[in-house]
Amino acid sequence: MSDQYQDIRPYRDNEVEQVLERLGRSPELLAALVRFRYPFTPDWLIGGISAFLGWRLRRHLVSVRSVPEFQEWLREWIATLVQSTTGQVQVTGLDQLGSPRPYLMLSNHRDIAMDPTMINYALMTHAWPTAEIAIGDNLLQNPVLSDVMRLNKAFLVKRSAAMGKREKLTEMQRLSAYIRDTLAQGHSVWLAQREGRAKDSRDHTDKAVLKMLALSGREEGIGFTGALERLEPLPVAVHYEWDPCDVFKARELVARERTGQYEKEAGEDTRSLLAGMKGYKGQVRISFGKPLTVADMETPEIMAAAVDRQILAMTPVYSNSYAALWILQQKFSMLTELSTRPGTPDQSDVDELMRRCEGEERDIVIRLLKNYAAPLIPVTERSATR
């Protein structure tokens, strides 16, 4: 029997041993692990340490024979990563959902790797099964990274610019069917509410994503509401007090405002992915909303608005948001007409924001501050100042 999803689905248990053997002997992966764990290692030592690390890694993984066993092995590393790069991690709403069941987790998108990692971390620590993760194939052009992610229950969303319209539609239909089938088999799915991160800190559901999800109903003659209802959509959100990629995002947004476009450098997505993983994020809130009702799914427009309302309601306002607004008002004479009056902010927040902006030109500083102040800026004002 042919596997129609073989090139996009996560690896299966019977593929784990072969993939781990390949990874355990990958010079690229081992060198990257050395640089990650021991960032000041001189180049001439990396080869020797990589060989030793590879031997240790293969020993540790020799008993891993399934995806759940791999995720359990990875759990300690993820816990260490979370503990070393965050302050308080708060999980809300999960206890209101009752016993574990499969959901289509429609999520906001702020960080390439950490959004689904934090949601799965919350699920694991609350004895829920982890979700499969949708990730763009543009991020997995490196075969080593692709192997690691597909071992960790990631499936690919094909976004190649070289595809024609008909081919893109075929791939969207196949993706929609894969998500439907995965949920029907009892596995939750994490899917961002839009393509790409919300670099301006505005979480907005793209109706095109919802229409893609409904494509699986076409062959059965099922309309939008029926196709989405059976997926059990659940809004979820991850918010970070501090964004390790804040300057990168501000630079890109300013470039787009000036020229209408932004050309990524080679390897830029990978650098952002690693920065998001390794950088300090402060307080983190992982919020699980309420399952959408049939009335919430009458049309793509109604559904997008319903998801947005829940995610907006789950958005925390950290103290650095007040500090960012205070700087904009006091030092740049901007947004002074807002009814929000931040008062005297925490000086440590002001100092940290200005440290992050150090050496950046004025427009980038303002853009970064607006991103942090976004929860305090009305949507109409945010639209005018993006």
Residue 275 · residue 245 · CB < 8 Å: yes
Taking Cα atoms as reference points, which of 245, 23, 210, 265 lies closest to residue 113?
245
**Could you tell me whether strands 284-288 and 233-240 are parallel, antiparallel, or unpaired per DSSP bridges?**
antiparallel
Of the candidates 135, 119, 173, 89, the residue with the CA atom closest to the CA atom of residue 289: 119
Q: Name 374's Cβ contacts closer than 8 Å, sequence gap at least 6.
A: 200, 201, 202, 321, 382
Domains of the chain with bracketed CATH: 13-66 (no CATH), 68-313 (3.40.1130), 319-384 (no CATH)
pLDDT digits (tens, 9 = 90+) for 272-321: 988 999 999 999 999 999 999 999 999 999 999 999 999 999 999 999 99
Please tell me the predicted confidence (pLDDT) of residue 191. Answer: 98
Positions in the chain whose pLDDT score sits under 70: 1, 160-162, 380-386
Q: Are 371 and 201 in contact (CB under 8 A)?
A: yes
Q: Quote the tokens at residue 226.
A: 């029926």
Q: Copy the structure tokens of residue 45.
A: 């030592």
3-state secondary structure of 86: coil
Q: What is the predicted pLDDT for the residue at 59?
A: 85
Residue 149: which residues within 8 A CB-CB, separation 6 or more? 133, 135, 140
State the chain's mean pLDDT as an integer.
92
Q: What is the pLDDT of residues 244-263, one digit of tens each?
A: 999 999 999 999 999 999 98
Predicted pLDDT of residue 301: 98
**Dihedral class, residue 366 (left if φ above 0, else alpha if ψ from -120 to 50, else beta):** alpha
Looking at the whole model, is its pTM more than 0.75? yes
pLDDT of 382 = 43
Task: Tell me how crowded residue 45 is: count the other CB atoms within 10 A of its CB.
Answer: 11
Q: Which residues contact 171 (CB under 8 A, 6 or more apart)?
A: 158, 163
Interstrand relation of 104-107 and 233-240 (parallel, antiparallel or unpaired): parallel
Q: What are phi and psi of 357, to 5 degrees?
A: -85, -5
Residue from 229, 264, 225, 231 nearest 248 by CA: 264
Phi, psi of 236 (to 5 degrees): -135, 160
Contacts of 261 (CB under 8 A, 6+ apart): 255
